[in-house]
Amino acid sequence: MLHLSQQMKMLQKLTPQQIQYLKLLQLPTLALEQMIKTELEANPLLEEGVEDEVTPEENTEEAPASVEETEEAKNAKDDEFSFEDFLNDEEAYIPKGENRAADDEDRDEFPIAASTPLAEKLIEQLRLAEVTDMGLSVAEEIIGNIDEDGYLRRDLESIVNDINLSRGLHLSVPQVEEVLGIIQRLEPPGIGSRTLQECLLIQLDFVKGDPHLIGLARRLLHDHFDEFTKKHYEQIAKMLGVPMDEVKRVLELIGHLNPKPGEGTINSQENYLTPDFIVTKDETEFIIQLNDKNVPPLRINRNYRELMSRRNKTTGADTKQFLRQKFDAAKWFIASIYQRRETMLKVMHAIVDRQRDFFESGEGLKPLIYKDIAETIRMDISTISRVVNGKYVQTDFGVFELRHFFSEGISTQSGEDVSNKEVKERIREILAGEDKSQPFSDEEIAAVLKEKGFNIARRTVAKYRESMMIPVARLRRSI
DSSP character string of 389-456: TT-EEEETTEEEEGGGG-B-EEEBTTS-EEEHHHHHHHHHHHHHTS-TTSPPPHHHHHHHHHHTTB--
Calculate the alpha carbon distances from 265 to 106, 118, 124, 313 in Å: 30, 7, 16, 61
- pTM, two decimals, is 0.56
Residue partners of 348: CB distance under 8 A and separation at least 6: 277, 279, 288, 290, 393, 402
Encode pLDDT of 390-400 as tens digits: 899 999 999 99
Encode pLDDT of 378-392 as tens digits: 999 999 999 998 899
Q: What is the pLDDT tens value at each position of the chain, 479 positions in all? A: 577 888 888 777 777 778 888 888 888 888 888 889 998 988 888 888 776 544 333 443 333 333 333 344 344 344 444 444 444 444 444 444 444 443 444 444 445 555 678 888 898 898 888 788 888 889 999 999 999 889 999 999 999 998 888 878 888 999 999 999 999 999 999 999 999 999 999 999 999 989 999 999 999 999 999 999 888 889 999 999 999 999 999 999 999 999 999 876 544 455 577 899 999 988 888 999 998 888 888 888 888 777 776 666 676 778 878 888 888 888 889 989 999 999 999 999 999 999 998 998 888 888 888 999 999 999 999 999 999 988 999 999 999 999 889 887 776 666 667 778 888 888 988 988 888 888 899 999 989 888 888 888 889 889 888 888 888 888 788 77
Distance between CA atoms of residues 239 and 219, nearest Å: 10
Q: Under a CB-based contact definition with an 8 Å cutoff, are residues 87 and 54 in contact?
A: yes
Distance between CA atoms of residues 260 and 189, nearest Å: 10
Q: What is the DSSP letter of 461?
A: H
Encode pLDDT of 96-133 as tens digits: 444 444 344 444 444 555 567 888 889 889 888 878 88
